[in-house]
Structure 1
Amino acid sequence: MAARSSTHLFALLIAYVIGYALWLLLGASAGAWSSQLANLLLIPPFLLATRVVWTVARLPQVTAARAWRWLGHGLLAWALGGLMYSGYELLGLSPFPSLADLGYLAALPCFAAGLMALRRERRGTLQTLSFLIDVSLATLILGALGWQIFFRATLADTAQPILALWISLAYPVLYLLLCAATVTLALWRPLDLQRRVVSLLAAGLLCFLGTDVLYFQAVARGTYVGGTWLDLGWPLAALLIAWAAYRSGEAATRPQPSWPQLPGEWWKRLLPHYAVLAAFLVYLGLQLGIPLDRPQQVLLWLIMGLFALRQLLVLTDNQRLQRQLTHRAEHDPLTGVRNRSDLEDNLQQQIDQARRWNSVVAVMFMDLDRMKEINDTFGHVVGDLLLQKLATRLSDALPADAVLFRFGGDEFVVVLPGHDAPAAARVAQTLLDAAGKAFQIGPETLHVSASLGVALAPGDATHATAAIEHADGAMYHAKQAGRGTWRFANERLNGLHMPQAQLEVQLRGALERGEFAMHFQPLIELSSGRVRSFEALMRWTSPVLGPVSPADFIAVAETREMMGGLGQWALRESIRQMCAWQAALPGVSVAVNVSATQFAHEHFVAETRAALAEYGGAPGLLTLEVTESAVLVDAAQARQKLLDLRALGVRVALDDFGTGYSSLGQLRSLPVDVLKIDRVFIQDSHTDAAFIQAMISMGHSLGLEVVAEGIEDAATVARLQALHCDLGQGFYFARPQSAGQAVAAMTLNGPPSSLQLS
């Protein structure tokens, strides 16, 4: 309904303005009454335009309603001013100032407020400053014109009353305000209006300003006569403003495509130069002998200063844009690391420098192993976030002189100047460790692995392209080896550096592949030479690395949080073997090492109870060996677990005694059954016998059985026998052997002596 009403009102306004123009064309100026009639006829188009603008502002789809309401207020204020002026004229009066001036003056800030109420996109600090300077320059140019037309003549007329003087100055000041708002409309297009609406609105306001300027010039010269073509400017301005509002309402109810960016936009970029041209013309007039008063000189210097500041901002903004463009050209937009655009040039420079200085450059090619699966399962948005976090991790893990490139997709290239094969091997494993840690993406916890290839230049290649290809080929060899690993492009280097670097990779999944086995070493009663028990020891034979020392793989398993699973398997397997022995070797017991991680688990005692119940093992035949360091981490909690194990019937041995620096008071508070003296004290020939005697005596005083580890000769056996040590263990008696070999030795030889087992 409101849209139809605005259409009817706008059609009536068009008809009225056309009729008014025809009336002027037919000689409306003839007759003394024509001036009064012409002034009265100026009021209806402003009232009609007010109705059109306000009707459009009430449409629910219009987003710039506040701006249109202010513009409507301005049109109404001008119409009321015109009505008061016509009333004075009909009465034969012409006071100044009057109530008519109040309406005319009120219209100008209303128009400016309407323009400033329009929404505009945000700009950066430099762009905003440049825009403000452009507006200031354009306003100053018009201000210079206003000085010539209004200010100088008004200030020169000192005879007029003070109120009249202030009203006379208020007109040009408000004109400058509206001019600045109009320039803002032209230079900073609102978001709510189409380009055609902006053009119509700007044209209407400029028509209004221009008509007022021409009117004041004519009045100043005494040549103004009502009912001439000059009067057509005001109705035409009202029509253009109403037309802009009407088009805005049409666009809201029936969306139309916005105008494309026209080549004519160049005039905005040249706006500051117009000010300089104007200043130059003023300066040229000065050279021609036209005198400039003091305000004009100040205005000239102000224009020149603003223009210099504007150019400085342009240069600063250009430099900022240049840096941004350079960064965008050289960096990946997703991850922020370098892209492959200058990878080859950068790498070639590094290779050439390495050749001159007899150095080496490591080139690494990394590819994620499960990226496609993650994209298919969780979507590319999650995949992109994963790549961003991965790039951050890799950057943090790399040395300071390394450069990370995103080669494409889920592929990354790392250039490491000055890194030889051992250093490159360490960095490669560090990168795989970083990629292998869990990623938290929103509610999802994602796990990925990566494969990595390493080429060393100039040894493997003297050109950047070839070095990247060699690293890429090595990466594919790593994928074929089982993924989650890395390879050198040079096979000889793989043989030198891969076993240590691949220990963790091969350790993962080794238990599931059946690569672990339990070996058993006897504990000998030193007074009689008979076997009292067996210590169960874990052994690993990797199909890739061969037999791996426990000193190597246990340390890795502890640091990589894999020892819990391995220790639980070792406990269950040892209990199973102990129970299987009971038919042939009744009463044989087994001692099992327990890692600190395994012992700290809250369900450790329950798991031990469950394993004994599963295989039907007697708790008294099981000894659990825990280290001092594992027990002393949390002595109170450890004591409770040890009490629970004692209640279960399981024996506990304190392993590696003497290395944990436990005090006698702490030892007295721990419910343990066996004390094992570490091999470092037994094998050291410089260890005072009194020191070992003290440990043995302390154990006996607490009611503990004492075991000496690491016995490798008969002299050590004799010394320990003299010190009344209870049990001994070491290579002198027997090496760790498989369960079958241990049973065979005991069943063939009976209760063996030390010589029979050696």
Structure 2
Amino acid sequence: MAVRSPASVLALLTVYMVGYAIWLLLGAPAGDRTSVLANLLLVPPFLLATLVVWTVARLPQVTAAPAWRWLGYGFLAWALGGLIYSGYDLLGLPPFPSLADVGYLATLPCFAAGLTALRRERRGTLQTLSFLTDAALVTLILGALGWQTFFQSTLADTAQPVLALWISLAYPVLYLLLCAATVTLALWKPLGLRRRVIALLAAGLLCFLGTNVLYFGAVARGSYVPGTWLDLGWPLAAFLIAWAAYRCGEAATRPQPNWPQLPSEWWKGLLPHYAVVAAFLVYLALHLGAPLDRPQQVLLWLIVGLFALRQLLVLTDNQRLQLHLTHRAEHDPLTGVRNRSDLEVDLQRQIDEARTWNSVVAVLFIDLDRMKEINDTFGHVVGDHLLQALATRLSEALPADALLFRFGGDEFVAVLPRHDAAAAARVAQTLLAAASKAFQIGPEILHVSASLGIALAPGDAEQATAAIKQADGALYRAKQAGRDTWRFASEQLNSLHMPQAQLEVQLRGALERGEFAMYFQPLIDLRSGRVRSFEALMRWNSPVLGPVSPADFIPVAETREMMGGLGHWAMRESIRQMCAWQAALPGVSVAVNVSATQFAYENFVADTRATLAEYGGTPGLLTLEITESAVLADAMQARQKLLELRALGVRVALDDFGTGYSSLGQLRSLPVDVLKIDRVFIQDSNTDSAFIQAMISMGHSLGLEVVAEGIEDAATVAQLQALRCDLGQGFYFARPQPAGQAVAAMAQGSLLALPRC
């Protein structure tokens, strides 16, 4: 029949314990069967304790169910051992060694497994090693004391066969195992068990261990008699453990009062010291005036070694804890960056060093725009995650020698040693760009921006406090200017650096806003004067800055890694326009500039092939203009890509020839079709015509068409015609024009010289 509650079984066990104690008090009746009766009376408490702990283990609220089940297995094994022992005694057979020892011995590992199964808090590696050292130290000392006082004499005075000897040795070994588990219970308090439950459980285990030790001592002295007070220790141990299980089940089924916090368990840290002192005292008492034998010396040195190891682990853990506390004191707990506690000290040190080395320190004060709106809309949890993500981005965007501090709320301060105004401006723009990228916070996608103020010290301020104040003031002016921007504390520096910074701000997103357009400039056959092709040129008309020269925005796009996207768009737009012209003007070709960043892209050739296929373009009508420096940066890789383009049918022009200092041998190895002489040689009046003649002759000797850029007057045309240059390009013929005007200009010239598609 299933037991619904452990209370009734525990009550029955309590009644039995009272009756058993009275029986021992009155004195066990003498007779031939006294030992059999005494042994049999020890079995019911263990069976009842088994029912208690197993019933508690079945309760759904109990978190330590595996531990109680293992303890129940131990009770059952001991009870079976007691029954078998009584059977041997009843039949007059020697009970040792026998099957009863299997039950008794199985009890010990079951108890140890139950204690090990208790859930404990996770600890660091050093704490775990320190705990294991403590447990090993205490267990070793207790085992040594037990061996010296009880087990050694018992084994030495008993002549036993081999099996009996091994069984006799198994008992102290398994006692050590249970002792280690009990020490674990004391040193590493399990989770989910209240103090009273742990106290009862520890008391029951100690009672069980103590009774067994006393039993071995009595057997060794030949003074053990069944039915004496010593026998009360075993059922008392079962009762205490069963009571602990009952209290655990009771705590799981009803709320517990909020007991006051008990004093800290300071004794745990001193336990190894007590154990070592106790070991030496006992050894001194047992061997006073007599030398220690070899095993005893080894044991003592082992104890001392473990104690020294334990102290080393404690010192290491204390050092780690000190570092952790120092880190917590210096760093913001939310974002992980440094807090403002040491900002002024570190900044002042940087300023003093900068003054010594005649350099400057840049102080960047960063504030997230619209943070209050985000907290009000999405909640402070999302806001906290946003600050964490922002701190990570800012840390990654800053130079390696920079320091980032959380000043408070959504404000951060970055300290950049050895950064002048130009370098600080570049870092400021990088930080704003990082903050403006979308943040994925859980299911929410947040678009935010930041404002930033910059102060330079010494210069704007001589002291750290004043530098931070100056940067804060510059931040305020940046917010007044419309946010998502930055300002120097010095107006002179603002006027010097803000135009380029504003250009970069406007350049980001300009392509998506449709601010770019492709213009086309004709290439003229210098022998016939007819239009041969068009070069596609990118133009930017910003609604804020107005028309911006490519000489201004292309270097910014290159340094800020935006040229790849712009070049890809220019390629697609040029091919699209070339194919759109074919219906009215068959055979018109287009030359497209390719940046070094775009050409270095791994899938550049594949993208070109896909774009031609998408618009139905003829590869032979497309010329890709690649700069000499871009090709020579990695000549082997460039040659491979050029060969793939030639296999595709696309023509390649080597642009800006003469500025990269390539040799004739290098030029001969490159599969190109056109050589474009840079405008600096055409427009420079000091350039010797023989030098231009040499470049034209070099191109012709390699079977290349030669194009002269930057032609602006008739005299230059006449000179190039005399030098037998093939094509010319420049303002003298036409300026870059939109597609419609370029086609109209082409229609005015002869189309007979153009190849047909």
TM-score normalised by structure 2 residue count:
0.75
For residues 493 and 591 of structure 1, the distance between their equivalents in structure 2, rounded to whole angstroms, comes to 47
For residues 147 and 543 of structure 1, the distance between their equivalents in structure 2, rounded to whole angstroms, comes to 94
Determine if contact 2:593/2:626 at 8 Å carries over to the other structure: no
Name which of 624, 627, 630 aligns with 2:625. Answer: 627
Determine if contact 1:2/1:59 at 8 Å carries over to the other structure: no
Instruction: Show CA shifts across 1:620-654 (max 9, x none).
Output: xxx999735599976876998989xxxxxxxx999
For residues 362 and 306 of structure 1, the distance between their equivalents in structure 2, rounded to whole angstroms, comes to 54
Q: Could you tell me how far 1:353 is from its partner in structure 2?
A: 3.0
| Alpha carbons of structure 1 residues 152 and 245: separation in structure 2 relative to 1, 3 Å | same
Q: Could you tell me how far 1:409 is from its partner in structure 2?
A: 4.5
- 1:406 match: 406
Letter in 2 for 1:418: R
For residues 623 and 49 of structure 2, the distance between their equivalents in structure 1, rounded to whole angstroms, comes to 98
2:562 aligned with 1:560: yes
Determine if contact 1:81/1:104 at 8 Å carries over to the other structure: yes
Letter in 2 for 1:480: Q
Q: Could you tell me how far 1:129 is from its partner in structure 2?
A: 2.2
Q: Could you tell me how far 1:180 is from its partner in structure 2?
A: 1.7
For residues 530 and 90 of structure 2, the distance between their equivalents in structure 1, rounded to whole angstroms, comes to 139
- 1:420 match: 420
| Alpha carbons of structure 1 residues 548 and 593: separation in structure 2 relative to 1, 3 Å | farther
| Structure-to-structure mapping, 1:406-485, within 5 angstroms | 406-435=406-435, 449-485=449-485
Q: Could you tell me how far 1:460 is from its partner in structure 2?
A: 1.4
For residues 725 and 77 of structure 1, the distance between their equivalents in structure 2, rounded to whole angstroms, comes to 107
SS at 1:4 equivalent: coil
Q: Could you tell me how far 1:278 is from its partner in structure 2?
A: 0.5
- 2:242 match: 242
Determine if contact 1:53/1:242 at 8 Å carries over to the other structure: yes
2:184 aligned with 1:184: yes
Please give the root-mean-square deviation of Cα atoms over the aligned residues, in Å. 5.4
For residues 515 and 480 of structure 1, the distance between their equivalents in structure 2, rounded to whole angstroms, comes to 26
For residues 385 and 570 of structure 2, the distance between their equivalents in structure 1, rounded to whole angstroms, comes to 37
For residues 634 and 326 of structure 1, the distance between their equivalents in structure 2, rounded to whole angstroms, comes to 58
- 2:601 match: none
| Structure-to-structure mapping, 1:585-734, within 5 angstroms | 595-596=593-594, 627=625, 678-684=678-684, 685-688=686-689, 691=692, 709-712=709-712, 715-720=715-720
For residues 481 and 264 of structure 1, the distance between their equivalents in structure 2, rounded to whole angstroms, comes to 58
For residues 728 and 222 of structure 2, the distance between their equivalents in structure 1, rounded to whole angstroms, comes to 130
| Alpha carbons of structure 1 residues 281 and 542: separation in structure 2 relative to 1, 3 Å | same
For residues 293 and 531 of structure 1, the distance between their equivalents in structure 2, rounded to whole angstroms, comes to 112
For residues 170 and 655 of structure 2, the distance between their equivalents in structure 1, rounded to whole angstroms, comes to 99
For residues 359 and 694 of structure 1, the distance between their equivalents in structure 2, rounded to whole angstroms, comes to 47
For residues 450 and 18 of structure 2, the distance between their equivalents in structure 1, rounded to whole angstroms, comes to 78
Identity across aligned pairs (percent)? 73
Q: Which moved more, 1:27-36 or 1:275-284?
A: 27-36
| Structure-to-structure mapping, 1:100-499, within 5 angstroms | 100-157=100-157, 159=159, 164-191=164-191, 193-221=193-221, 223-254=223-254, 262-263=262-263, 265-282=265-282, 285=285, 289=288, 291=290, 293-294=292-293, 295-369=295-369, 390-435=390-435, 449-499=449-499
| Alpha carbons of structure 1 residues 230 and 604: separation in structure 2 relative to 1, 3 Å | closer
Determine if contact 1:537/1:593 at 8 Å carries over to the other structure: no
Letter in 1 for 2:145: L
| Alpha carbons of structure 1 residues 275 and 530: separation in structure 2 relative to 1, 3 Å | closer
| Alpha carbons of structure 1 residues 264 and 422: separation in structure 2 relative to 1, 3 Å | closer
Q: Could you tell me how far 1:341 is from its partner in structure 2?
A: 2.4
Determine if contact 1:627/1:657 at 8 Å carries over to the other structure: no
Q: Which moved more, 1:311-320 or 1:255-264?
A: 255-264
For residues 175 and 516 of structure 1, the distance between their equivalents in structure 2, rounded to whole angstroms, comes to 85
Determine if contact 1:538/1:570 at 8 Å carries over to the other structure: no
| Alpha carbons of structure 1 residues 115 and 711: separation in structure 2 relative to 1, 3 Å | closer
| Alpha carbons of structure 1 residues 554 and 374: separation in structure 2 relative to 1, 3 Å | farther
Letter in 1 for 2:474: A
SS at 2:146 equivalent: helix
Residue ranges of structure 2 left out of the alignment (5+ in a row)? 599-603, 632-637, 750-757
When Rg is computed on C-alpha atoms for both structures, the one with the higher figure is: 1
Q: Could you tell me how far 1:490 is from its partner in structure 2?
A: 0.9
| Alpha carbons of structure 1 residues 173 and 521: separation in structure 2 relative to 1, 3 Å | closer
For residues 543 and 148 of structure 1, the distance between their equivalents in structure 2, rounded to whole angstroms, comes to 96
Q: Could you tell me how far 1:492 is from its partner in structure 2?
A: 0.9
For residues 40 and 698 of structure 2, the distance between their equivalents in structure 1, rounded to whole angstroms, comes to 126
SS at 1:502 equivalent: helix
| Alpha carbons of structure 1 residues 86 and 461: separation in structure 2 relative to 1, 3 Å | same
Determine if contact 1:207/1:236 at 8 Å carries over to the other structure: yes
| Alpha carbons of structure 1 residues 680 and 264: separation in structure 2 relative to 1, 3 Å | closer
Determine if contact 2:208/2:237 at 8 Å carries over to the other structure: yes
Q: Could you tell me how far 1:272 is from its partner in structure 2?
A: 0.5
- 1:756 match: none
- 2:27 match: 28
| Alpha carbons of structure 1 residues 279 and 542: separation in structure 2 relative to 1, 3 Å | same
For residues 650 and 95 of structure 2, the distance between their equivalents in structure 1, rounded to whole angstroms, comes to 110
- 1:614 match: none
Instruction: Show CA shifts across 1:85-106 (max 9, x none).
Output: 4456566777654554454344
Instruction: Show CA shifts across 1:510-556 (max 9, x none).
Output: 68999989999999999999999999987768798787543112343
Q: Which moved more, 1:445-454 or 1:399-408?
A: 445-454
Letter in 2 for 1:321: L
Letter in 2 for 1:215: Y
Q: Could you tell me how far 1:310 is from its partner in structure 2?
A: 1.2
SS at 1:272 equivalent: helix
Letter in 1 for 2:625: T
Q: Could you tell me how far 1:315 is from its partner in structure 2?
A: 0.7
Determine if contact 2:454/2:474 at 8 Å carries over to the other structure: yes
For residues 360 and 624 of structure 2, the distance between their equivalents in structure 1, rounded to whole angstroms, comes to 48
For residues 350 and 707 of structure 2, the distance between their equivalents in structure 1, rounded to whole angstroms, comes to 60
SS at 1:270 equivalent: helix
For residues 257 and 487 of structure 1, the distance between their equivalents in structure 2, rounded to whole angstroms, comes to 60
| Paired residue total | 707
- 1:53 match: 53
For residues 569 and 281 of structure 1, the distance between their equivalents in structure 2, rounded to whole angstroms, comes to 91
Determine if contact 2:525/2:726 at 8 Å carries over to the other structure: yes
Determine if contact 1:653/1:676 at 8 Å carries over to the other structure: yes
Q: Could you tell me how far 1:108 is from its partner in structure 2?
A: 2.7
- 1:618 match: none
- 1:4 match: 4
For residues 232 and 571 of structure 1, the distance between their equivalents in structure 2, rounded to whole angstroms, comes to 100
SS at 2:4 equivalent: helix
For residues 256 and 523 of structure 1, the distance between their equivalents in structure 2, rounded to whole angstroms, comes to 92
| Alpha carbons of structure 1 residues 38 and 95: separation in structure 2 relative to 1, 3 Å | closer
Q: Could you tell me how far 1:609 is from its partner in structure 2?
A: 11
2:103 aligned with 1:77: no
Q: Could you tell me how far 1:231 is from its partner in structure 2?
A: 3.0
Q: Could you tell me how far 1:142 is from its partner in structure 2?
A: 2.4
